[in-house]
Amino acid sequence: MAEVRTLILRAPGTNCDGETAFAFELAGSVVEFAHINELLGRKELLSECQILAIPGGFTYGDDISAGRLLANELRLKLGEEIHRFVDEGKLVMGICNGLQVLLKAGLLQPRGDTACQSVTIAGNGSARFECCWVHLRVDEATPCVFTAGIRSMYLPVAHGEGKVFADAGAAEKLNAVLRYADEAGAVAADYPDNPNGSVGSIAGICDLSGRVFGLMPHPERYVRGTQHPSWCRQARRDWGDGLQIFTNAVEWAQKI
């Protein structure tokens, strides 16, 4: 079995890197960390791994807008290397702030939309920080590698800017992998099931290849059964809903 190496990218304000590393290690990957300045100075680090992960947090204090500054660094200074990384069949994952970064770097823009950014992340419709657990429905018709075999999930969210906002017609061109749902599994547009007011109840997006994936909920915060908020009142389960996302990624990367 081939060894899979995951590179977890850090920047000032990143704060979910430890949990993300634990999830990838639990799924069987070897994990390395790199600060954005280190990666800019040693771009060959990308070629040594099969998965690039951008964890949650508040990179650069979310100045200007959430994820914008790190997105600019990736787009302007590492764009060629990241596109080559994806073209080689490797995987990129962004969680919460990571989704904000991927969108604003242009790595998840709608099909055929390369001239401008028609989809972004805006402040929550509630105008406040939302920290809660949400039901998610998976669109199994998308090519997303990370969600293969998953139909639904229950995961936590924690963000002040998580609203997917799109120009007219742009949302329909997205590969919307995850949508906020109600407890019965029906896609839900209303608060609090859709905690941020995202257009189309979108909670996660992948690119055309299905190998670049970003989501607002935090799968790394629910990889063990005891991380569920009601774990002591439910039947025992060893693993949380989020673990399968990381397992899918590692199993895919073993074939590269």
From 16, 49, 96, 206, active-site residue? 96
Identify the pLDDT of residue 57. 97
CA distance 4 to 247: 11
Residue 185 corresponds to which amino acid? G
- List C-alpha distances in Å: 48 to 43, 52, 222: 10, 10, 28
At 172-202, the pLDDT tens digits run 889 999 999 999 999 988 999 999 999 999 9
> Would you say residue 43 has pLDDT above 70?
yes
CA distance 203 to 225: 22
N-to-C CA span, the chain: 11
Identify the pLDDT of residue 116. 61
Question: What's the domain count of the chain?
Answer: 1
Beta-sheet pairing, 5-10 with 30-35:
parallel
From 130, 144, 159, 218, active-site residue? 218
Mean of the pLDDT values across residues 10-20?
Answer: 98
Residue 212's CATH number: 3.40.50.880
Identify the pLDDT of residue 39. 97
Active site residue 83: no
Task: Decide: 24 and 250 in contact? Cβ < 8 Å.
Answer: yes
Residue with tokens 């997006």, as numbered in its chain: 205
Q: Compute the radius of gyration of the chain from its Cα atoms.
A: 17
Average model confidence (pLDDT) for the chain?
94
Active site residue 96: yes
Identify the pLDDT of residue 47. 94
At 116-127, the pLDDT tens digits run 678 899 999 999
> Would you say residue 66 has pLDDT above 90?
yes
Active site residue 19: no
- CB-CB neighbours of 228 under 10 Å: 17
Identify the pLDDT of residue 1. 61
Sign of torsion over alpha carbons 117, 123, 126, 127: negative
Identify the pLDDT of residue 170. 85
Residue with tokens 């990179």, as numbered in its chain: 59
Domain that holds residue 94: 5-253
